[in-house]
């Protein structure tokens, strides 16, 4: 799961939005660095990542990637799941529009940014200004996202090519999304993540 899915699942689980969004920027034990609610949000993000990676649908989705992109498939899939969530938001979350949800999330997170890692603050600047999570709904935008990630981390250069695996297997990946994401929503709502 990527930014949008983590924020949505955190909302369903009544968990810290900041902790869930910031988790990838924190190393080690978050309880030594942050308040209990933020540390629990970081822990929830980590549990979601571990659970998602172990799901049979995700393992099957990884098999759709070519040998040259298979190594980066888990990262690409995280972005792909956010695409489908953004694209199908109105169907999955009819009670609030995606722009309204994101406006609320931003209003909660922005006042808490001081004291967070610098890289995370930079991410937030672009995330909100450029409306990444809304733009994820357009499949071609993912090509820009994956290329940008590849350019920032040369050892992940294959990310720029993984867009073609997404494009080639779009329907199968969408089917996997519908098998796994409602299951994750249910677990978050029941707070068993």
For residue 115, the enclosing domain spans 3-189
Q: Give the closest residue to 191 by CA, choosing from 31, 29, 44.
A: 44
The whole-number pLDDT of residue 152 equals 87
Where does the pLDDT of residue 106 fall: very low under 50, low under 70, confident under 90, or very high at 90 and above?
Answer: very high
Average pLDDT over residues 137-158: 93
Exposure string of 164-175, with b = 16+ CB inside 10 Å and e = fewer, is ebbeebeeebee
Q: What is the pLDDT of residues 87-104, one digit of tens each?
A: 999 999 999 999 999 999
Distance in angstroms (rounded) separating the CA atoms of residues 101 and 104? 5
Q: How many helices (H) and strands (E) does the chain have?
A: 12, 0
The whole-number pLDDT of residue 153 equals 87
| pLDDT at residue 168 is higher than 90 | yes
Average pLDDT over residues 160-167: 96
Q: Structural domain tally of the chain?
A: 1
Per the document, the length of the chain is 193
Where does the pLDDT of residue 32 fall: very low under 50, low under 70, confident under 90, or very high at 90 and above?
Answer: confident
This prediction has a pTM of 0.95
Distances (CA, A) of 89 to 76, 109, 152: 20, 21, 29
Q: What is the pLDDT of residues 123-142, one digit of tens each?
A: 999 999 999 999 999 999 99
């Amino acid at each position: 799961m990527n930014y949008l899915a983590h924020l949505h699942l955190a909302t369903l689980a009544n968990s810290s939005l900041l902790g869930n969004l910031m988790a990838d920027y924190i190393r080690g034990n978050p309880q030594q660095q942050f308040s209990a609610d933020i540390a629990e949000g970081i822990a929830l993000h980590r549990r979601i990542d571990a659970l998602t990676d172990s799901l049979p649908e995700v393992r099957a989705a990884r098999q759709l990637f070519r040998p040259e992109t298979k190594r980066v498939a888990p990262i690409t899939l995280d972005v792909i799941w956010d695409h489908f969530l953004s694209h199908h938001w109105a169907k999955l979350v009819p009670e609030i529009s995606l722009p309204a949800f994101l406006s609320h999330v931003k209003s909660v997170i922005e006042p808490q940014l001081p004291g967070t890692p610098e890289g995370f603050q930079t991410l937030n600047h672009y995330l909100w200004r450029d409306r990444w999570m809304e733009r994820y709904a357009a499949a071609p935008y993912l090509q820009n996202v994956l290329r940008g990630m590849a350019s920032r981390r040369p050892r992940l250069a294959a990310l720029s090519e993984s867009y073609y695996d997404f494009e080639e297997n779009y329907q199968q990946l969408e089917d996997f999304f519908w098998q796994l994401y409602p299951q994750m929503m249910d677990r978050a709502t029941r707070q068993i993540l």
